[in-house]
Structure 1
Amino acid sequence: IDLNLSIVLNLVMVASELSHVHTRPIDFVCDSEARRMMNKVKDLQVEMVVCSAVDALPSDIKLPCIRIHKATWERKSVHEQRAEILLSLGTLAQDVRSARTLSQPGCGLTLLERLEHSINNYLHVVRLLHIEQGEQVGPQAELCLGRPSKDLGLVLKHFGLLLTGKLEWVIAEMAKGC
């Protein structure tokens, strides 16, 4: 990538990070548009195509478990569901951080930085979500991870499906109070 294209790509990335930085947890639950604007997975997927330097990540990332067995999921409390999502997001953030520290400077590193930032935003918001039934601590969430992968496209796909699957199911339950 030539220098001018690199500068423009970096400016676009920074500008996209500035919108909706201050989404509050209540907005996240009650406003689907705020959630849609916070979800940067599609933007990252588009930028990954532009950044041909991201063929393989420098280290494995454990993919979050995205499958939902409806009956089992519905038997879990909202606390347990949220704990499972937090555990998946936390593990994903840790693995992306490790891959980022091993990456060479360039658009691949910038993509990993943006992905880590996005995951951390979700971690922050999900941690702050107020659950009406009180904040009692339930059983420890089971760590449900898929196979390790060095494919950033697959990592982005699983992250997106975690957000539009399990997280949206929790939000739908919580949004009944909006």
Structure 2
Amino acid sequence: MDLRVLVVVFSMVVSELPHVHTRPIDFVCDSEARIMMNKVKDLQVEMVVCSAVDALPSDIKLPCIRIHKATWERKSVHEQRAEILLSLGTLAQDVRSARTLSQPGCGLTLLERLEHSINNYLHVVRLLHIEQGEQVGPQAEPCLGQPSKDLGLVLKHFGLLLTGKLEWLILEMAKGC
């Protein structure tokens, strides 16, 4: 591999991870770390500048973002985490598929950055240490999100997943900070 390519790839990765050394406990106990990790607003701004992203080349299932408070609170943190992991995993897979079908340009770059951001969240949520019971959470019931080719809607739902379900899980876990 050409050294220049390696340097470019490394600089892209570093630029996307402002808190490379953030530990999962920091993610839970430090709201500023979570705010810094959330790149949805940056991606939305970039999407406005990138006119090539009118429609995605394939459908992306929108993550389920609705929360019935009483039902959510009855779920264990394992179940909540499993539900979030399922949503993030499905979103990452669909974004990856759309990315592979995209033409080179700003639309492809935007999808790569989105996929990277989703994968960062998947990694952090998988590493969250949950004190209660077993470390492997139960399987979440699949929530079949509506498919969309609208990247703006995908970004909106991703952002709402982070500020909704994920933040509620973190607030529950932060009681131990």
Q: What TM-score results when the alignment is normalised by the length of structure 1?
A: 0.90
Aligned pair in 2 of structure 1 residues 146, 2: CA closer, same or farther (>3 Å)?
A: farther
Return the offset for 1:4: 19
User: What fraction of aligned residue pairs are identical, expressed as a percent?
Assistant: 92
Task: Report the counterpart of residue 24 of structure 2 in structure 1.
Answer: 25
Return the offset for 1:67: 0.2
Moved over 6 A (4+): 1-9, 11-15
Q: For the Cα contact (< 8 Å) 1:88–1:145, is it kept in 2?
A: no
Q: For the Cα contact (< 8 Å) 1:41–1:156, is it kept in 2?
A: yes
Deviations 1:17-47 (A, max 9, x none): 1412332101100000000000000000000
Structure 2 residue runs of 5 or longer lacking an equivalent are none
Task: Report the counterpart of residue 171 of structure 1 in structure 2.
Answer: 170
Distance in 2 between the 1:84 and 1:93 partners? Answer: 14
Aligned pair in 2 of structure 1 residues 137, 16: CA closer, same or farther (>3 Å)?
A: closer
> Which stretch of the first structure deviates more once superposed, 71-80 or 128-137?
128-137
Deviations 1:30-75 (A, max 9, x none): 0000000000000000000000100000000000000000111111
Q: For the Cα contact (< 8 Å) 1:57–1:99, is it kept in 2?
A: yes
Distance in 2 between the 1:146 and 1:171 partners? Answer: 23
Q: For the Cα contact (< 8 Å) 2:82–2:138, is it kept in 1?
A: no
Output the aligned Cα RMSD.
Answer: 4.3
Q: For the Cα contact (< 8 Å) 1:82–1:126, is it kept in 2?
A: yes
Distance in 2 between the 1:14 and 1:108 partners? Answer: 18
Q: What TM-score results when the alignment is normalised by the length of structure 2?
A: 0.90
Aligned pair in 2 of structure 1 residues 134, 2: CA closer, same or farther (>3 Å)?
A: closer
Aligned pair in 2 of structure 1 residues 3, 146: CA closer, same or farther (>3 Å)?
A: farther
Return the offset for 1:138: 4.9
Q: For the Cα contact (< 8 Å) 1:66–1:158, is it kept in 2?
A: yes
Aligned pair in 2 of structure 1 residues 12, 153: CA closer, same or farther (>3 Å)?
A: farther
Distance in 2 between the 1:17 and 1:33 partners? Answer: 16
Aligned pair in 2 of structure 1 residues 176, 34: CA closer, same or farther (>3 Å)?
A: same
Aligned pair in 2 of structure 1 residues 60, 81: CA closer, same or farther (>3 Å)?
A: same
Structure 1 residue runs of 5 or longer lacking an equivalent are none
> Which stretch of the first structure deviates more once superposed, 131-140 or 90-99?
131-140
